[in-house]
Amino acid sequence: MGMSVGSGNDSGDPEVMAEMNTTPLIDVMLVLLIMLIITIPVQLHSIETDNPVGNPPPPLTEPIVHKIDIDEAGVVYVDGAVVNGKQALEDIFRQFATAADQPEVHVKPRKGTPYRQVAMVMAAAQRAGVTKFGLVE
């Protein structure tokens, strides 16, 4: 480690230093090297798993799908038929939920449908216990 103190001339004007100070550069490189050394063992840990081989068999039957449409006025249609009232909608959802093989319920609101109507249908499905529920375009 050396240090340049001055040129030794008597003029009083400091001379321009022509060397680059490499100490900060070396410090940064050492910190990066230490970080690399610390993080490499963490990335090399792995867990052995026993994954199944091959493709899963296709389902034996196609799932039953019930389509629920909601128009801009908030009218709810279940498989094309108009449903009058929340209670009737919840009864339909309870029938879906208690079926042996629960059908899928696809809800398709139109673009101008108020969100409260969509939320009401989703809440009714949840209260009835429908688990295969999805929003579609």
Q: Is residue 43 part of a domain?
A: no
* Strand pairing category for 133-135 and 76-78: unpaired
Residue 77 has pLDDT above 70, yes or no: yes
User: Cα–Cα distance between 20 and 93 in angstroms, integer?
Assistant: 77
CA-nearest of 62, 61, 76, 63 to 110 is 76
pTM above 0.85, yes or no: no
* CA count, 13 A, side-chain hemisphere, 30: 6
Give me the percent of the chain exceeding a pLDDT of 90.
Answer: 43
> Does residue 77 sit within a domain?
yes
**Number of compact structural domains in the chain:** 1
pLDDT tens across 7-46, in order?
A: 556 666 777 878 888 889 999 999 999 998 888 776 666 7
Lowest-pLDDT choice from 58-62, 94-98, 117-121, 125-129: 58-62
In a domain, 84, yes or no: yes
Question: What letter does residue 75 receive in the DSSP assignment?
Answer: -
CATH number for 81: 3.30.420.270
Q: Write down the residue that tokens 């063992």 correspond to.
A: 41
Domain that holds residue 85: 65-135
φ/ψ of 92, rounded to 5, equals -65, -45
Q: What 8-state DSSP symbol labels residue 55?
A: P
Residue 51: band (very low, low, confident or very high) from pLDDT cuts 50, 70, 90: confident
Identify whether 98 is part of a domain: yes
Measured distance CA(106)–CA(108) in Å, rounded = 6
pLDDT bracket for residue 121 (50, 70, 90) = very high
Q: Is residue 99 part of a domain?
A: yes
CA–CA separation, 35 vs 56, rounded Å? 43
